[in-house]
Amino acid sequence: MTDSAAVPRGRRSSTRRPARDGASSGSARPTDGPVNERERAREIALRILTHSARSSAQLREGLISRDVAPEIADELVARYADVGLLDDAALAATIVRTRHAERGQSRRAIHQELRRKGFDEQDIGTALAQIDEDDERERAAELARRRWAQLSSQPTEARIRRVVAMLGRKGYSSSLAFSLVKDLRGADNGDE
């Protein structure tokens, strides 16, 4: 048997990189000082923000979950908002545009997502103002038409059920969903 057979394929060698905090070098890093704690919090915050854009509340939550003192987390969030690294209003507006245009979500579903992510009601309201009822109905109609066509080989009752369910999962009201399905069904009956 050769040496390469001793190490399973696809596995990395057992050599590990030294720990970031310097613990492997034997030197103890003082963590009780306010400067070091703030620096640690700053590094954590930048890592979180590098991964993806976050709301102020999400960043604060992420810092606290990594054992950063709440007052330091609040200071850091305020500082990052002041220098423009955090902009909840712009992020909320971006989320609204992408969720509606790309995923076809309704204002109600987007509102719930933004609340869950910790945006305040003013930023949510301003962001959702981009979508009016006509835009929402048009997007729902487009989704319904596409799904209705995909299900053309299915019985009518199954098509109705599936289209209404799909629109419901995206946050549209059942009254709108049934209205759109009624129009699609009428268009099909007119074609026959």
Give the span between the Cα atoms of 125 and 81, in whole angstroms: 20
Give the span between the Cα atoms of 51 and 34, in whole angstroms: 26
Compute the average pLDDT of residues 113-120: 96
Give the span between the Cα atoms of 36 and 127, in whole angstroms: 38
Query: Has residue 173 got a pLDDT over 80?
Result: yes
* pTM for this model (two decimals): 0.75
Of the options 1.10.10, 1.10.3470, 3.30.750, 1.25.40, the CATH number for the domain spanning 133-191: 1.10.10
In the Cβ-directed half-sphere of 47, how many Cα atoms lie within 13 Å?
9
Query: Has residue 12 got a pLDDT over 90?
Result: no
Q: Which amino acid is at 88?
A: D
CB atoms within 10 A of CB 130: 13
Of the options 3.30.70, 1.10.3470, 3.40.50, 1.10.10, the CATH number for the domain spanning 34-86: 1.10.10
Compute the average pLDDT of residues 169-185: 94
Query: Has residue 95 got a pLDDT over 80?
Result: yes
Query: Has residue 28 got a pLDDT over 60?
Result: no
* Contact present, 95 and 110 (Cβ < 8 Å): yes
Domain ranges of the chain: 34-86, 88-128, 133-191
Comparing 34-86 with 133-191, is the CATH topology the same? Answer: yes
Q: Which residue, chain included where needed, has tokens 């915050």? A: 45
